[in-house]
């Protein structure tokens, strides 16, 4: 590269001198028609041109050689460098001064123009980089864009960005592994407080121009700004999530302590009265107290189970163990178990036997039905109907559990599946406020959808379960019907 620059420089001189020689020859042919002063004036044209085209060096060289040629060929006595006539001396001196001054002026203008263009290009590149980096919050994308811009500007062999941090990584361009030799340029990506990584540039040229290096440094600091901004945004959103979960936890604590205290009080009262012999052995209250302890212990267990499920759903640990199951069986088992709880309501079931098998987690699906039915039982007035039905609807099973309970204002319909969300004040209705959000977690874990809607005489919970599982439709079973 250096060699070729040198050669191109050299060529500039040759061409400049060649041009002067050509002009001189031309003037020499036409010397009878031209006055000496006119020749001097005309010589200034190629001089200006040469300087404008190839810079100050060739310009000055041409000025000097023009001066010599002018003197040699056009100032009498001809073909010598001696000058007899004083006017000619003046012409020559003036010519030399004018030629050099023109060369210098044009050359200087040329250099400053080149510098201005370079600065403008740098500014454009910087602007492009900062525009591309603006609004990015992801280290990987930032590294990608930075590397691409560096590659575009430097035309190096390869660029690698090593980004440090909690998850350090390297990104390089082009997509082949960078050369094994150590890079020619390493620029640290220095942020205000720490080094966020480094730029490694492989460029075969033996010399990286200082302007290029400066540009790289500017790029590095732009990259550092972008990375730092990304990290701040991440930290901020983490802080926001933490704050939110902190808030939820405090709701949880108050809700849970309220919920847990109720059964605990019952258990404590019943157990202590039994223990203190305050209830005689044959009293009718005795079995009732014992039943209360038993029931409330179950209730406590259910509450704790809900909390555990919720934390599992939150942490993504509640993975359904999916198998092909019979939906009517699940519904039947849940309703049989809830018979006692729902004794004041009339439960109508319309889940046909010939539904295809569904791939669900048996236990989790039982819980969904339990929670939705018990929610209906809790809010719908006694003696009303709770309707459970299921049908196939384009590649999924649609389940509908409706009750004749109070409607939910439309703006709350979606939010009732949020954790701890309740429309009724917490002290009016029991429960952790987790039942519906657990349902949502489970159904979504199965790839289904759950929603609530107001129906003319009450509220309906809907959910869908996909029929296709792992690309397979529900299996048809080889049933033997032959009786032994």
Size of the site for another protein (CB under 8 A): 31
Nearer to another protein among residue 173 and residue 334 (C-beta): 334
Q: Which of 262, 366, 384, 407 binds another protein (CB under 8 A)?
A: 366
Task: Give the C-alpha separation, 402 to 379, whole Å.
Answer: 12
Q: Which residues contact 47 (CB under 8 A, 6 or more apart)?
A: 59, 62, 63, 66, 99, 102, 103
Grouping H, G, I as helix, E, B as strand and the rest as coil, residue 346 is strand
Chain positions 29 to 88 lying near another protein, rule: CB under 8 A, are: none
Contact assessment for residue 405 and residue 342, using Cβ atoms and an 8 Å cutoff: no
Helix axes 36-54, 2-29, angle to 10 degrees: 160
Q: Is residue 374 a contact point for another protein (CB under 8 A)?
A: no
Is 348 one of the binding residues for another protein (CB under 8 A)? no
CA distance 383 to 343: 9
Q: Does residue 480 bind another protein (CB under 8 A)? A: yes
Interface region with another protein, contact rule CB under 8 A, candidates 17-25, 108-116, 235-243, 331-339: 331-339
Told to check if 477 binds another protein by CB under 8 A, we report: yes
Q: Does 382 bind another protein (CB under 8 A)?
A: no
321 binds another protein (CB under 8 A): yes
What 8-state DSSP symbol labels residue 419?
Answer: T
Least distance (Å) between residue 269 CB and another protein: 19
Regarding 354 and contact with another protein (CB under 8 A), the answer is no
User: Which one, 205 or 300, has the nearer CB to another protein?
Assistant: 300
For residue 288, give the 3-state DSSP assignment. Answer: helix
| Residue with Cβ nearer another protein (331 or 443) | 331
> Where in 457-476 is the site for another protein (CB under 8 A)?
475
Could you tell me which residues come within 8 angstroms of residue 392 by beta carbon, excluding any fewer than 6 positions away? 355, 356, 398, 467
When the beta carbons of 82 and 476 are compared against another protein, the nearer one is 476
Q: Closest by alpha carbon to 378, among 331, 431, 340, 432?
A: 431
Is 144 a binding residue for another protein by CB under 8 A? The answer is: no
Q: Which of 32, 282, 411, 482 binds another protein (CB under 8 A)?
A: 482
Q: Is residue 309 a contact point for another protein (CB under 8 A)? A: yes
Q: 92, 80 in Cβ contact below 8 A?
A: no
Nearest to 163 by CA among 224, 234, 225, 237: 224
Residue 329 CB, shortest distance to another protein, in Å, is 6
Question: Which part of the chain contacts another protein (CB under 8 A), choosing from 325-333, 406-414, 424-432, 464-472?
Answer: 325-333
CB of 299 to another protein, least distance (A): 11
Buried b (16+ CB within 10 A) or exposed e, 361-370: bbebbbbbbb
Which CB sits closer to another protein, 176 or 483? Answer: 483
Measured distance CA(189)–CA(187) in Å, rounded: 7
Q: How far apart are CA 13 and CA 7, in angstroms?
A: 10
Task: Count Cβ atoms below 10 Å from residue 37 Cβ, excluding itself.
Answer: 13
Q: Which stretch binds another protein (CB under 8 A): 78-86, 152-160, 179-187, 294-302?
A: 294-302
Query: Which stretches of the chain bind another protein, using CB under 8 A?
Result: 294, 297, 301, 305, 308-309, 312, 321, 323-326, 329, 332-333, 335-336, 339, 357, 361-363, 366, 475, 477, 479-484
């Amino acid at each position: 590269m250096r060699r070729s620059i040198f050669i191109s420089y050299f060529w500039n001189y040759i061409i400049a001198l060649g041009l002067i020689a050509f002009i001189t020859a031309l003037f020499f042919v036409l010397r009878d028609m031209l006055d000496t002063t006119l020749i001097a004036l005309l010589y200034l044209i190629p001089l200006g041109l040469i300087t404008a085209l190839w810079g100050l060096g060739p310009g000055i060289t041409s000025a000097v050689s023009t001066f010599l040629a002018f003197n040699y060929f056009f100032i009498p006595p001809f073909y010598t460098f001696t000058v007899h006539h004083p006017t000619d001396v003046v012409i020559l001196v003036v010519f030399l001064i004018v030629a050099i001054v023109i060369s210098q002026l044009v050359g200087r203008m040329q250099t400053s123009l080149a510098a201005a263009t370079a600065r403008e290009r740098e500014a454009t590149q910087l602007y492009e980089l900062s525009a591309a980096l603006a609004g990015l919050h992801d280290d990987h994308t930032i590294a990608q864009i930075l590397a691409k811009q560096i590659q575009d500007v430097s035309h190096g062999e390869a660029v690698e960005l090593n980004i440090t941090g909690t998850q350090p990584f390297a990104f390089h361009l082009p997509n082949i592994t960078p050369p094994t030799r150590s890079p020619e340029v390493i620029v640290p990506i220095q942020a205000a407080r720490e080094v966020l990584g480094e730029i490694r540039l492989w460029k075969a040229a033996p010399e990286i121009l200082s302007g290029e290096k400066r540009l790289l440094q500017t790029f590095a600091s732009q990259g550092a700004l972008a990375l730092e901004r990304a990290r701040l945004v991440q930290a901020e959103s983490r802080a926001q999530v933490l704050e939110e979960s902190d808030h939820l936890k405090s709701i949880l604590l108050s809700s849970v302590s309220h919920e847990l205290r109720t059964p605990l009080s019952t258990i404590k009262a019943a157990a202590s009265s039994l223990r203190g012999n305050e209830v005689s052995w044959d009293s009718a209250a005795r079995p009732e107290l014992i039943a209360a302890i038993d029931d409330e212990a179950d209730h406590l267990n259910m509450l704790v189970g809900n909390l555990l499920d919720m934390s599992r759903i939150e942490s993504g640990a509640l993975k359904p163990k999916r198998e092909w199951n019979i939906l009517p069986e699940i519904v039947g088992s849940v309703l049989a178990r809830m018979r006692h709880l729902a004794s004041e309501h009339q439960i109508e079931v319309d889940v046909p036997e010939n539904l295809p098998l569904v791939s669900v987690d048996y236990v989790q699906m039982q819980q969904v039905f339990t929670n939705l039915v018990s929610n209906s039982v809790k809010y719908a007035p006694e003696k009303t109907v709770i309707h459970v039905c299921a049908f196939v609807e384009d590649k999924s099973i649609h389940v509908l559990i409706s009750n004749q309970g109070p409607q939910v204002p439309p703006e709350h319909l979606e939010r009732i599946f949020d954790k701890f969300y309740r429309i009724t004040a917490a002290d009016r209705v029991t429960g952790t406020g987790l039942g519906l959000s657990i349902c949502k977690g489970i159904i979504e874990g199965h790839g289904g959808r759950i929603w609530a809607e107001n129906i003319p005489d009450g509220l309906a919970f809907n959910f869908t379960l996909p029929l296709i599982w792992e690309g397979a439709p529900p299996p048809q079973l080889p049933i033997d019907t032959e009786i032994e």
